[in-house]
Structures are given as C-alpha cells and as structure tokens.
A and B are shown apart, each in its own frame.
Chain A
Amino acid sequence: MTFLLELLIAVLIVLGGIFALIGSIGLVKRPDLLTRLHGPTKATTLGVGGALAASMLFFFGIEGTLSIHEVLISVFLFLTAPISAHFIAKAHLHEHVELRADLPPTGREHGWSTFDGLPESHDGEQTEQAPRG
C-alpha cells in the first residue's frame, strides 16, 4: 500500500517536472514574446500543480497529517498567472506600437484600451461604463 502511494507520488512529481520543463522549452524556443507567453501561463500551472498534489498526498498518506497549504498555493497561482500574463502582453503592446496595425478591429467604435481612450462625446456610454455599470 505504501509502495503504491509512493509510486503515485513519484509519478505526480515526475509528470509535474515534465510539464514545467516543456513550459520552459516553450519559453526558450518561441520566436516572439506573445507566443512565448503561452508556455509559462499553461504548462507551468500543471507543473506546479503536480508537485503540489504530490506534496499533499505525501503529507496525508505517509506523514499522516493533513496539509492544505498546497490548495492556497494553487489558488494564488490561478489568480496571479492570468493577471501577470495580461500585464506582460499590455506592456509588450505599449513597447511595440507598430503591432497596433496587426490587431483586429474591436468591432466597436472605440479602439483597444491600450491605445485608445474613451471618446468624450459618448456621455451616455460613459455613464454606463462607470464601475459596476
């Protein structure tokens, strides 16, 4: 039984390590920042997730104590990864203004918020857009 548990923990750690490695390979191999962003935002989540699941299993099954720190770590990871990716992408757009020509139209009368503000003539829309509109 202990052997099976240890096997499962080992498999989780190795899988997590493989995914973290693949994420890092993606980070190195891709040609530009925006495609690089895809590796770390996703592959790494499962990499860390595997290690965390293994840690929980180890403490619960072998040490006999319930450890829930790992749940918190994954919650914080889920909250921070998309936000940092979003900021990196926005900073990239700010730095490479020429990319603006590649962006698709918004389908609305206003442009993307990185480049365009809300025109002042649209008072009605603006009140609608006030926080919690």
Chain B
Amino acid sequence: MADRPETDTRSFMQRWLPHPLLTLVLIALWMLLLNSFSAGGLVMGTLLGVVIPIITSNFWPERPPVKAYGKAVSYMALVAWDVVVANVQVARLILFRRADQLNVRWVTVPLELRSPEAITVLAGTITMTPGTVSCDLSADGRSLLVHCLDAPDAEEAVRQMKERYESRLKEIFP
C-alpha cells in the first residue's frame, strides 16, 4: 500500500474491507475461540476481522468466486456424511483385508474445474472420503493424481469422484 500512494484507484470497500465474508468468519472464529460472549471480545474480534484481511489482501487480491452459498452448505453436509461412511469402509478394509488382497492403484482424474479454490476443495474432499488420497496435480493444473486403497475398477472410481463431487463443485464455483 505504501509504495503506490497516488495511483490507488481502489474503492473504499476494496481498500478497507477487501473480504467482507472473511471478516465475518474471523469475527465468528474469535467468538468461538473465546467460548463465551462479551462486548470486549466482540470489539477485539472485529478489530482482528478488519485488520487481518487488509494485511493479507495483497496475497489474495480477489474474492473467492463462490456463487451458490446454499449449494455450498449442502455440499458440506454431503461430505460430512461421506466422511462417516469413508471411516467405516476404511476401517473394514484395514481390519478384514490382507494387504496383498487390496487393489492398490493410482488413478488420474481429469479436472473440469479451473479455479484454484475449487480444485483445492475437490482435492481435500477426495482425501477425506473413501479409500482415496489426492497426491499430486499435473503441471498445467488440469489433472489430479489420486491414490486408491482399494479400487477394482479405475474408471468407475474416477467416474464416481467426478459425479459425486466435481459436478457439485462446478455449480458452486462457476
């Protein structure tokens, strides 16, 4: 900010509230950390919620392209449920399957998502859900390398990931 005092064409909002949603999240986070409500805590939280986005806005100049917040919430619910299912499945594989009976393999998931945020969310989701860990991204950011613990059919596994998560993420991050 200091090195361009004259050419600063940003609006008041862009300058002092670059990420309104992040501000709200930080305030909520601070109140949750305090675990009790107090006026002083709210003031401190608001201060942090305003100052941190301003300081970090150079690293993160634009707002995340989330369009459908309702769909984002239902996506989170879906993932939370899948995590529970994933736990039971992986627990069963660990307990009842010998290591040499597993169909361990790598699969390549071609990505239709383009925004870095969407790809990050997809990779995180894949890691948290049944028997898959996302390990690498192709150099041009168009394919995801996924390690499967037990995938008898690679194409079926890819299709499932794309259908269940990527298609939903495409609606959230258009």
Contact = CB atoms under 8 A, between A and B. Distances in A.
Contacts of A106: 108, 138-139, 142-143, 145
Which bracket fits the contact residues of A?
35 or more
A68 B32 contact: yes
Contacts of A14: none
Contacts of B93: 38
B138 A110 contact: yes
B68 interface: no
Contact of B99 (A30, A67, A114, A116): A30
Nearest to A102: B106
A67 B124 CA distance: 27
A111 interface: yes
Interface residues of B, number: 47
Binding site secondary structure of chain B: mixed
B106 A85 contact: no
Contact of B149 (A38, A81, A108): A38
Contacts of A31: 99
Contacts of B84: 46
A20 to B, nearest CB: 10
Nearest to B84: A46
Interface stretch (B9-17, B44-52, B110-118, B162-170): B110-118
Contacts of A72: 29, 32-33
Contact of A43 (B91, B127, B133): B91
A13 to B, nearest CB: 16
Nearest to A38: B149
B160 interface: no
Given A113-B138, A129-B141, 5 more contacts: A22-B95, A23-B94, A67-B35, A82-B126, A108-B140
Interface of A: 19, 22-23, 25-26, 29-31, 34-35, 37-39, 41-43, 45-46, 67-69, 71-72, 78-79, 81-83, 85-86, 89-90, 93, 102-114, 116-118, 122, 125, 129, 131-133
Q: Which 4 A-B pairs have the closest CB atoms?
A: A82-B127, A89-B135, A46-B87, A110-B139
